[in-house]
Structure 1
């Protein structure tokens, strides 16, 4: 499910079962990221699939990338693996106005 920046922040702040997933490259993550995220580079397909198959499918995954394209793809992959609740951040980190860590 696609969420706007404000919907994403509001829903995340009220979710006790949330996991934030950053699917950008390591170089992009090093330039800044949302606090308390898990990093899972979608461009590293083998590692992405391996880790995705080990994660808890009952959690709610809030997924972002730079602009929203890779995270939408990641949500589709996770959904195909049996994940029930994946949320794509529209506009991605480039439009993020919330807290960030460098």
Structure 2
């Protein structure tokens, strides 16, 4: 376990959640049509997002749950936020909703330079 993993609490994540660096994430989302979700606010999303991402705001509570209920729980879902903190919380929420393969972008959109 690296110091960064310890500092950013990645060691406390369920097995269903994987944190990918930007290269791994880019490769994974470019392979085929994937469930790619930006969990930031609408304003953040409109200021720039990863091509093909759908916006489901983590802070919208019931609407967040309802939007994810329409996605396939047994298919991988790729999420990201601004810095990686909110998406880790969202990833844990998705596991509690029954998602089995959740991939989060380490460092969030701030680290995405493509």
Could you tell me the TM-score, scaled by structure 2's length?
Answer: 0.79
* 1:26 equivalenced with 2:42 (yes/no): yes
Tell me which of 18, 29, 35 is aligned to 1:12: 29
Q: Does 1:68 align with 2:94?
A: no
Gaps of 5+ in 1: none
The structure showing larger relative contact order (alpha-carbon pairs under 8 Å, at least 6 residues apart) is 1
Q: 4+ residue stretches of structure 1 with deviation over 6 A?
A: none
- Give CA-to-partner distance per residue, 1:32-59, whole Å, 9 cap, x none: 0111111100011110011122221122
For residues 38-53 of structure 1, the aligned pairs below 5 Å read 38-53=54-69
With 84-93 and 54-63 compared, the bigger mean Cα shift is at 54-63
**Greater Rg by CA:** 2
- Report deviation, 1:81: 1.3
Residue correspondences, number:
97
RMSD after superposition: 1.2
Range 89-98 or range 5-14, more displaced:
5-14
What are the Cα deviations for residues 58-97 of structure 1, in whole angstroms up to 9, with x where unaligned? 2211100000011111111111111111101011001101
Please say if residues 17 and 60 of structure 1, whose CA atoms lie closer than 8 Å, have aligned partners that are also in contact.
no
Give ranges in structure 2 of 5+ residues lacking alignment.
1-17
